[in-house]
Amino acid sequence: MFSFRRVVHSFAYFAATLAAIAMFVLVLMLAESAVYAVTGIPVSVWAMVIAAITAAFGYAPLVQAMQRGLDRIFFRHQLDMLTAIRQLGAGDLAQLPIEDVETALLERICNVSYRSYAALDERELPDGGWFSYPPGALFIEAGYAGDTHEDYALHLNLPAASGEARLWLGPRRDGRPVDAEERTSLESLARFAAMSLEHARLTHKQAEAARLDSLSRVTRQLHSHDLKNRLHDLSFLAHHLGSGKLDEEDVQRMLTAIRKVTGRMQTLMQRMSDPNAPVDPQLAPLDLVNLLQTSIRDRLWPESLQIDQAYEALPAVAGDADLLRGVFENLYDNAVQAMQGQGRVRIEARLVDACLTEIAGEKVQQDSDHSDYSDHSARMAEVRVSDQGCGMTGDFIRQRLFHLFATSKSNGLGVGLYLSRRIVEAHGGTITAESAGARKGSTFIVRLPLWQSSYG
């Protein structure tokens, strides 16, 4: 196939050949002069060998230098693979925070390929998602199977460990169409980008595994020493408070509080020792509203905090009271910390119609007014915990919020919400979050199946 670029590169070979011949003649003359001055022989085979070796070793670098120079003059729009590989380096990409890796990779691809925007679609992969640069780039609906899209110039398939993803590239900034040669270069670039992305993700997984191992070691050590001793002290105190020397009402109140604290600390230590340990809830009919009211009443709230409660009458849910109490107390903790102990927390409980469908390998709940899923509706209990705190960005909620060690707090471990999600999912429910943005508060939504629906 005819290509003007190949013609120009052919000229580089022709010019380099002439330059190599000139170099051969020049070196031959110099070598002959040197040999004659030393030996007195006018013509030497050694001089020809030296000249030939010099010309041969200099030929290939000269051709490449000329081709790059001609590309910079005539083909500024073409992809420079050497520059692209340097910019997409896997080592540099792995140094970025995990939530920035995909966006940074897409930004670099846009820069080297002269694109205005690009997107990475991994929704067909387990735990995959949609990433774009810039973040507001045009969105393609899940399940789109076409090879072309009106908003994107072309798409490239990216190999992945468990399937295949798609790299969508927007139009060129200079408006040029994509020719066959550029597409071939972009396909090579896409394969290299996939390897860089996989390397960066594996690096972060290894770092996370190392942190998990360190956390497990620390918590086991705490369990064996300081916290274990404190638990023994609290249990000993609770035993002597029951001797009858204090007012009976005060004694009972203190005993109840101390026993609850010790029970929660024991549960916390067991779960902190291994956040990935299997969750096995002991399901039974549970009055969810009573559980919420009790957990709120027994908690010590900051004086400057206001609690609003709104409950509808709910049938029993299928739940483990101790595990779910820990989930809601973690949500209370997050709300208090997000508002720095000042503001209003609202806890609501109601019955909702939910629809369950499998999208991108994840269980997603949708509102019942979506008629496409009306045949899969189910009644569930929903609890909403809302605060007026610092809020969260949409990207953080979608990509990081419920992952292990993901935290927006400077002194947080990023374990609480990860454990909460595992507990809720072990109940057959879901936990999600909403936020209008930074400094606009957050709402956590827990949905749990009803006992009658599960075991009726």
Within 128-229, strands assigned E span 130-133, 154-160, 163-169
Name every residue whose Cβ is closer than 8 Å to that of residue 363 and which is 6 or more positions away in sequence. 356, 425, 430
Supply angle C-alpha 25, 28, 29, rounded to 5. Answer: 85
Helix (H, G, I), strand (E, B) or coil at 346: strand
Helix (H, G, I), strand (E, B) or coil at 75: coil
- Give the pLDDT of residue 5: 59
Cβ 397 vs Cβ 437: under 8 Å: no
Q: Furthest-apart CA pair in the chain: how many Å?
A: 123
Same domain, yes or no: 185 and 230: no
pLDDT < 70 stretches in the chain: 1-6, 8-9, 43, 70-91, 161-162, 213-246, 250, 253, 257, 259-261, 263-276, 355-377, 405-414, 454-456
- Give the pLDDT of residue 46: 75
* Mean pLDDT of the chain, nearest integer: 77
- Give the pLDDT of residue 125: 83
Distance between start and end Cα atoms, the chain? 70
Same domain, yes or no: 407 and 291: yes
**What's phi and psi for 165, nearest 5 deg?**
-115, 175
- Give the pLDDT of residue 233: 57
Alpha helices, DSSP H only, in 40-170?
A: 45-74, 81-87, 90-94, 101-113
Q: Residue 95 belongs to what domain range?
A: 81-204
Question: In the structure encoding, which two tokens stand for residue 140, read together?
Answer: 């393609």
Supply angle C-alpha 210, 216, 219, rounded to 5. Answer: 140
Name every residue whose Cβ is closer than 8 Å to that of residue 413 and which is 6 or more positions away in sequence. 215, 405, 407
Q: Is there a domain that residue 214 lies in?
A: no
| Cα torsion through 46, 51, 55, 57, rounded to 10 | 40
- Give the pLDDT of residue 345: 95
Picking from 55, 74, 93, the residue at the C-terminal end of a domain is 74
Helix (H, G, I), strand (E, B) or coil at 419: helix
CA distance linking residue 300 with residue 298, whole number of Å: 7
Picking from 242, 272, 302, the residue at the C-terminal end of a domain is 272
CA 166 from centroid of its chain's CA atoms: 17
Same domain, yes or no: 334 and 446: yes
Q: Is there a domain that residue 48 lies in?
A: yes
The H-or-E segment that residue 172 falls in is none
- Give the pLDDT of residue 257: 67
Same domain, yes or no: 411 and 346: yes
- Give the pLDDT of residue 430: 95
